[in-house]
Amino acid sequence: MRRKPSCTMGVTMSPLYFLSVFTQDTPGGWDGGRNNGFVQNGYHDNRMNGGNRYNSGPPRMERGRGGGGFRRGGSYNPVQPMQNAGMFGVYDNKDGGGWNTTKDAYTSFGARPDRGKSAFFNNGGSAPRGSFPDPCGYVLLDSYPRGGFGGSGNSRWVEESRDDEDWSKPTQANERLEQELFAGGNTGINFDNYDDIPVEATGQNCPHHIDSFQDVEMGEIIMSNIALTRYTRPTPVQKYAIPIIKNKRDLMACAQTGSGKTAAFLLPVLSQIYTEGPGEALAAQKSGGQDNGKYGRRKQYPLALVLAPTRELALQIYEEARKFAYRSRVRPCVVYGGADIGQQIRDLERGCHLLVATPGRLVDMMERGKIGLDYCNYLVLDEADRMLDMGFEPQIRRIVEQDTMPPKGIRQTMMFSATFPKEIQILARDFLEEYIFLAVGRVGSTSENITQKVVWVEDGDKRSFLLDLLNATGKNSLTLVFVETKKGADALEDFLYREGYACTSIHGDRSQRDREEALHQFRSGRCPILVATAVAARGLDISNVKHVINFDLPSDIEEYVHRIGRTGRVGNLGLATSFFNDKNGNITKDLLDILVEAKQEVPSWLESLAYEHQHKSNTRGRSKRFTSGGFGARDYRQTSGGGSTGGFGGRGGRQPGGHGGNRGFGGGGKYPLKPHNGATFGCKYYCWSIPQFLGHMSKS
């Protein structure tokens, strides 16, 4: 039963894999001298109390970071973070920068070495920022080359920002900022793989999709920023969403991060803002100036609002927005919890036209009178299902319906969601007007891009098995290890660390700064192993993850799908290995279904278990099927009808209707079977389970 890990490995190979092969140093060595100049006192890892517990490597405090300089260098590209960085990261260690482009950006502009950390200091509020040249102290929080920019020009920005100016014309270029924003280098997206993603758009008078960014007029600012990001071709979701949004239609899109979704809404929204200018918002800001500032800066009236469920996702979107707002008069801001609110308020007061926010912090800001949504004509809900899962619905409704935001029909609203359950359908009904429903299949996830392995591992054997897997995997392939609890994450990270692996962890009890730093270390390849709880399961776009390991399987199949969706992204192959034992009975059948749907190899024991479990479940009676968490929970699910799981009838003796008979369209499931707008397509779960989509997606 135990371990033949090597047999599962070959599938992850791809050209990228070979590119990123470099040797992981011994534990004491990988950390090198990288902290030179980049780490300041006062930057504490709040968990570092262990003294010399970690005797096989650098103290923990040293691990989760050191590359503070990365972030500002554009390495935080959510679409394609650092395919190449892994190659250089280790080599450049000793300079402290970890990434040559970033370092160059600093040195060539004579920046202070500590600037690279300012993102974290800003969040933590502990940096003596007053001594910084103004914009340089702001990394995350200042997207503008505004005043005192080391001689690179554009210090006239504030003065130039008059309402009679044409927002569609680019502002002055800024070489340094440009380098900072776009240094991420080529996106590395394999667009050929993207072409396999199926998309279906339904709704009245649906605008036709585009095939090239040139097919739709987005203005020179957007076009030049597209060029700078080197997005050569639109991804499938962009092909459809951009013309829909440009045509001022509301949109409900089933799509996930990793499909190019962020740019799919940022590009057309920003483009429209550039075309239309600030309108009444600027006037309101001036006349409503209760404040001392000449523009009355106390309250900001963003023109566009993007809501996201997690802080990290909000940050990703913000970073993307900064790129497309380059050389424009639009100033993006981001607010989220866990960071110093005073800092964020000060940033807002510098001007905020596009706001990215997590719901709780935004409500806070609104109640403090820092944000008015009166002129917010663009609303984006990203990962809407996740936000509802996390209990944000009251805050969302508070923001959208119970304040001053323009009503639907006046504002333009775009919702993105991986799934389309009843709750989301209701939200769509309430927030959207005459919307287009867009179903975007995804490269990855349960598609055949990901090889899914399930192995039986008793709890006591998990660590040992994990080490085998890690050893068999290319040392610098990014590996994401999921555990169920925060405590478990800490414990496993400690264990791996003591075993000499360059790893870090992310979970909800770590400080925001640590979370961001851990992600960063992982992305950059400096810590190619990330131990994570559910916080990292969804939305995070780390494009290069080769292997997802479910050290602990989740109890919820949705969670499982989201987790494994962290690999096999942007068209690459991925591997997902799950440790299964008798504690995982609750996910047995759902897991089997997923494996079958994705045409994966199914261990015979899993099939037997699922059959037994189902049998047991059936003998307990039907009512059980509707208890949450009970075995029949997935009967609520709308897949695509018997067809998508059509292999079922012949498998394991199950009958097609054996799941309760309410699968698929037309069944008696919990959810309405159609999207609210009457479109004929919709599924609670995953768009790629639609049979014809599966057909499209199968790869040769």
CB of 371 to DNA, least distance (A): 13
DSSP symbols for 115-182: GGGHHHHHHHT-S-GGGS-GGGG-SSS--S--S--TTSS-TTHHHH--TTS-TTS-----HHHHHHHH
Whether 615 contacts 658, CB under 8 Å: no
Query: Near DNA by CB under 7 A, which window of 15-23, 125-133, 326-334, 359-367?
Result: 359-367
Check residue 359 for interaction with DNA (CB under 7 A): yes
Closest CA to 306 of 290, 324, 291, 328: 324
Query: Near DNA by CB under 7 A, which window of 259-267, 441-449, 533-541, 568-576?
Result: 533-541
CB of 16 to DNA, least distance (A): 28
The total of other beta-carbon atoms located within 10 Å of residue 415's CB is 26
Check residue 485 for interaction with DNA (CB under 7 A): yes
Query: Near DNA by CB under 7 A, which window of 97-105, 231-239, 297-305, 330-338?
Result: 330-338
Q: Which C-beta is closer to DNA: that of 95 or that of 364? A: 364
Check residue 661 for interaction with DNA (CB under 7 A): no
> What's the Rg (C-alpha) of the chain?
25
Query: Near DNA by CB under 7 A, which window of 167-175, 177-185, 274-282, 481-489?
Result: 481-489
Query: What residue type is assigned to position 625 of the chain?
Result: R
Q: Which of 341, 426, 472, 491 binds DNA (CB under 7 A)?
A: 341
Q: Give the full edge-to-edge strand order of the sheet including 251-254.
A: 199-202, 436-440, 251-254, 412-417, 378-381, 304-307, 354-357, 332-335
**Which residues, 6 or more positions from 607, have their beta carbon under 8 angstroms from its beta carbon?**
592, 651, 652
Q: Residues binding DNA: what is the number (CB under 7 A)?
A: 36
Q: Between residue 378 and residue 407, which ones bind DNA under the rule CB under 7 A?
A: 389-391
Q: Which C-beta is closer to DNA: that of 116 or that of 539? A: 539
Query: Near DNA by CB under 7 A, which window of 138-146, 210-218, 293-301, 505-513?
Result: 505-513
Residue 252 belongs to what H/E stretch?
A: strand 251-254
For residue 242, give both structure tokens: 């951009």
Q: Which of 175, 276, 367, 401 binds DNA (CB under 7 A)?
A: 367
Closest CA to 445 of 597, 551, 602, 584: 597
**Which residues, 6 or more positions from 191, have their beta carbon under 8 angstroms from its beta carbon?**
232, 233, 235, 571
Q: Which of 629, 650, 695, 700 binds DNA (CB under 7 A)?
A: 629
Q: Between residue 108 and residue 167, which ones bind DNA under the rule CB under 7 A?
A: none
- Rounded to whole angstroms, the Cα distance separating 39 from 120 reads 11
CB of 398 to DNA, least distance (A): 9
Q: Which of 103, 261, 322, 361 binds DNA (CB under 7 A)?
A: 361
- Rounded to whole angstroms, the Cα distance separating 500 from 173 reads 46
Q: Which of 127, 221, 244, 339 binds DNA (CB under 7 A)?
A: 339
CB of 395 to DNA, least distance (A): 8
Check residue 358 for interaction with DNA (CB under 7 A): yes
Whether 689 contacts 683, CB under 8 Å: yes
Check residue 626 for interaction with DNA (CB under 7 A): no
Check residue 507 for interaction with DNA (CB under 7 A): yes
- Rounded to whole angstroms, the Cα distance separating 671 from 659 reads 16
Q: Which of 45, 178, 364, 635 binds DNA (CB under 7 A)?
A: 364
Q: Give the per-residue contact string, 226-265, with DNA (x = CB under 7 A; - = no).
A: ----------------------------------------
Check residue 625 for interaction with DNA (CB under 7 A): no
Q: Give the full edge-to-edge strand order of the sheet including 574-580.
A: 450-456, 574-580, 545-550, 478-482, 529-532, 503-506
Q: Which of 556, 599, 661, 673 binds DNA (CB under 7 A)?
A: 556
**Which residues, 6 or more positions from 446, have their beta carbon under 8 angstroms from its beta carbon?**
452, 561, 564, 565, 594, 597, 598, 686, 688, 689
Q: Which C-beta is closer to DNA: that of 44 or that of 487? A: 487
Check residue 338 for interaction with DNA (CB under 7 A): yes
Q: Which C-beta is closer to DNA: that of 315 or that of 576? A: 315
Q: Which C-beta is closer to DNA: that of 210 or that of 341? A: 341
Q: Give the per-residue contact string, 508-527, with DNA (x = CB under 7 A; - = no).
A: xx------------------
CB neighbour class for 174 (10 Å; exposed up to 12, middle 13-18, buried from 19):
buried
CB of 513 to DNA, least distance (A): 12
Q: Which C-beta is closer to DNA: that of 197 or that of 489? A: 489
- Rounded to whole angstroms, the Cα distance separating 48 from 518 reads 14
Q: Which C-beta is closer to DNA: that of 633 or that of 694? A: 633
Q: Which C-beta is closer to DNA: that of 534 or that of 575? A: 534
Q: Which C-beta is closer to DNA: that of 239 or that of 386? A: 386
CB of 81 to DNA, least distance (A): 19
The total of other beta-carbon atoms located within 10 Å of residue 5's CB is 19
CB neighbour class for 105 (10 Å; exposed up to 12, middle 13-18, buried from 19):
buried
Q: Which C-beta is closer to DNA: that of 418 or that of 438? A: 418
CB of 508 to DNA, least distance (A): 2
CB of 311 to DNA, least distance (A): 4
CB of 368 to DNA, least distance (A): 9
Q: Which of 3, 486, 583, 670 binds DNA (CB under 7 A)?
A: 486
What is the distance between the terminal CA atoms of the chain, rounded to a whole angstrom? Answer: 32
Q: Which of 59, 147, 153, 360 binds DNA (CB under 7 A)?
A: 360
Whether 443 contacts 449, CB under 8 Å: yes
Q: Which C-beta is closer to DNA: that of 99 or that of 392? A: 392
Q: Which C-beta is closer to DNA: that of 178 or that of 312? A: 312
DSSP symbols for 344-401: HHHHHHT--SEEEE-HHHHHHHHHTTSB--TT--EEEETTHHHHHHTT-HHHHHHHHT
Q: Between residue 299 and residue 318, which ones bind DNA under the rule CB under 7 A?
A: 309-312
Identify each DSSP E strand in 404-461 by its residue range. 412-417, 436-440, 450-456
For residue 583, give both structure tokens: 């504690």
The number of CA neighbours under 13 Å toward the Cβ of 615 is: 9
Q: Which of 8, 24, 555, 581 binds DNA (CB under 7 A)?
A: 555
Locus of tokens 């962020």: 262
CB of 613 to DNA, least distance (A): 18
CA 630, chain centre distance (Å): 30
Q: Which C-beta is closer to DNA: that of 96 or that of 372? A: 372
For residue 92, give both structure tokens: 């450049």
Check residue 542 for interaction with DNA (CB under 7 A): no
Closest CA to 11 of 423, 600, 491, 405: 600
Q: Give the per-residue contact string, 570-609, with DNA (x = CB under 7 A; - = no).
A: ----------------------------------------
CB of 313 to DNA, least distance (A): 8
Contact footprint for DNA (CB under 7 A)? 309-312, 336-339, 341, 358-364, 367, 389-391, 484-489, 506-509, 533-535, 555-556, 629
